Amino acid sequence: MISIIRMNSYISITFMTVAETIKKITREHLLKNKGLALGQCLTAVGWVGGTVPELKQEEGLVELSMADVAGGGIAVGIALAQRRPIYIVRYQGFQWYNAPMIINYAAKSKDMWGIPCPIFIRSIAMDGGIGPVASGSHHSMYSRMPGVPICAPMTPKEYVAAWEYFMSHDDPLYVSEHRRSFAIDYEIDDSIQENPDITILAISSTRLNAIDAIKTLEQENIKCNLIHLFWLKPFEVTEKIINAINKSKCGALILDGDFENGILKSLAYDISQNVTKPISILGLEERSAGFAPQCDNLPPSAVKICNRIKTLIKNI
């Protein structure tokens, strides 16, 4: 059980980092539940950012070859054998190669044949200097397929919630991680203001950028609600979201580290059907990233978030 101590409107303190939480969950699953964890370069320097326990193959830690298109199929086979695998994809962009067997078999198996295929898909996002394929978050590609819930945990408690969901259900679960979360050892709370100018709804690493942006905007007397989105699919438009947006002068701005033509627009549509204020979105630019710093395509920075909010307020 992870202990939580309430601190202020933004964060709470825990006693384990996200990386330590993942490592502990993985170790217990392999040694106590006879589960398997598989992926590429798991035992390389760093052990995937300190999230993989230092175990051997006979203890359930399986190193795959560098053939991305095959790994998903192997994970599907292990899931069908009722081993509940943890499938670790070290860069989310590699899902373009890993996803086909998971989306086209694991996600459909229960509907078509009544046979569950539960896979815990650790899809790890990273930004900057890693080129047009590996970089960024890519949960949108999974969002279109029925049978695959999606979450984006950024705190220890959220990660535990994702794991508990997986172990109590029999669906493949897409866990959109971000390496910026690995060092986090606190919880991040929603913040609701009186008479807000705007409500920010943030996903994954943009949650951290949103907190920085709000601190800057507060100095200019711009008041922002901040709601953190953990479960992306199924997505619930809660009363908290509805009330926060309807009480905001400029409606809402949804942030993500994925491209805008994806889950961002889907969430914006779902929310817009329940509120009376406009919904705006801000994600990756509609272009490919490169390797050089000037060619990066990064999630919205605090500065970019501030500028967009000021523009929205100006255009009321």
pLDDT (0 to 100) of residue 12:
56
In this structure, the strands spanning 11-13 and 186-188 are antiparallel
**306 vs 312: CA distance, rounded Å:** 10
Count Cα neighbours of 223 within 13 Å in the Cβ-side half-sphere: 12
**312 vs 316: CA distance, rounded Å:** 7
pLDDT (0 to 100) of residue 67:
82
pLDDT (0 to 100) of residue 316:
81
pLDDT (0 to 100) of residue 8:
37
CATH 3.40.50.920 maps onto the chain at: 188-314
Three-class SS of residue 175? strand
pLDDT (0 to 100) of residue 16:
93
Omega cis (within 30) before 234: yes
pLDDT (0 to 100) of residue 15:
76
CATH 3.40.50.970 maps onto the chain at: 15-181
pLDDT (0 to 100) of residue 258:
96
Classify domain 15-181 at the CATH class level.
alpha beta
- Domain 188-314, what fold? Rossmann fold (3.40.50)
Rounded average pLDDT per 10-residue block, the chain, 316 residues: 37 78 97 96 94 96 90 96 96 93 96 97 94 92 95 97 97 98 96 97 98 97 98 98 98 97 97 98 94 93 98 92
In this structure, the strands spanning 173-178 and 120-125 are parallel
pLDDT (0 to 100) of residue 13:
53
Q: Helix crossing, 302-314 with 206-218: angle to 10°?
A: 60
